[in-house]
Amino acid sequence: MPAPLAVADNFRPQTRTTAQLEIAERLDRFESKAAALRTQTDHYAASAWNNQLQPQSHAYELNAARVQVNDLGRELSKLEELSPQGTELQQAAIREARPELQAVADHVQSAIAMLNEDKRNRGTPAFQEKVKGMNESADSLYSKVDALTDYEKAGIRAGTINDPADPEA
C-alpha cells in the first residue's frame, strides 16, 4: 500500500501581488517573442548553412533578427525595472534572460558587420559560426525563460501559489 500524501501544517499558498501579475504577463509576452526569435534564427541558420540565400536575403534576415533583439531588449529593460517586486522565479527568469539576449545581440551584430565588410563573408566558417551562435543563443534564451515561467505556472496549478486572477483561489 502506498504511503499517504502528507502536507505540513504550516503549508500556506503564496498570493501574488498586482506587480507580480504584471510581471507574469510581461514575461509571457517576452517568452512569446523569444520563441519567435528562435524560430526565425532556426530558419535562417538552416538556410545559411545550406547556402540557399542570396546576399540580400542574408541582410534581410539579419536585420529582422536585429529588430527582434532590440524589441526584446526594450521588454527586458522594463522587466528589470519591475524585477525587485517579482517572485523569486520571476526574478530568476529576468536575470537569466539578460546574458542570453546579450549573446544573441553580439552574434547578430558581428554577422551584420562581417556581411557589411564583404558580402563574400557569408560563406566563411567565421560567418557560419556567428549564425550558429546566434541560433544557439536564441534557443537558450527561450529555453531558460520558458523553463522558469513554466515552473511558476506549475506552482499555481499545484496550489502552492494562489493566482488572484482566479476567483476560486
For residue range 135-166, list pLDDT tens digits in order: 999 999 999 999 888 887 877 777 666 555 55
- The whole-chain average pLDDT of the chain stands at 85
> SS3 for 161?
strand
- Over residues 104-129, the mean pLDDT reads 90
Answer whether residue 134 shows pLDDT above 90: yes
In the chain, the percentage of residues whose pLDDT exceeds 90 is 59
Q: What is the mean pLDDT of residues 85-102?
A: 94
Going along the chain from its start, the domains and CATH numbers come out as 16-157 (1.20.120)
The CB density around residue 91, as the number of other CB atoms within 10 Å, is 18
Q: Which residue has the cell 551584420?
A: 112
Q: State the Cα–Cα distance between residues 74 and 159, nearest whole angstrom.
A: 33
Residue 3 is predicted with a pLDDT of 46
Q: Beta strand pairing status for 14-15 and 161-162?
A: parallel
Long-range (24+ apart) CB contacts under 8 A made by 19-22 are: 19/82, 19/85, 19/86, 20/85, 20/86, 20/87, 20/90, 21/164, 21/165, 22/82
pLDDT at site 37: 97
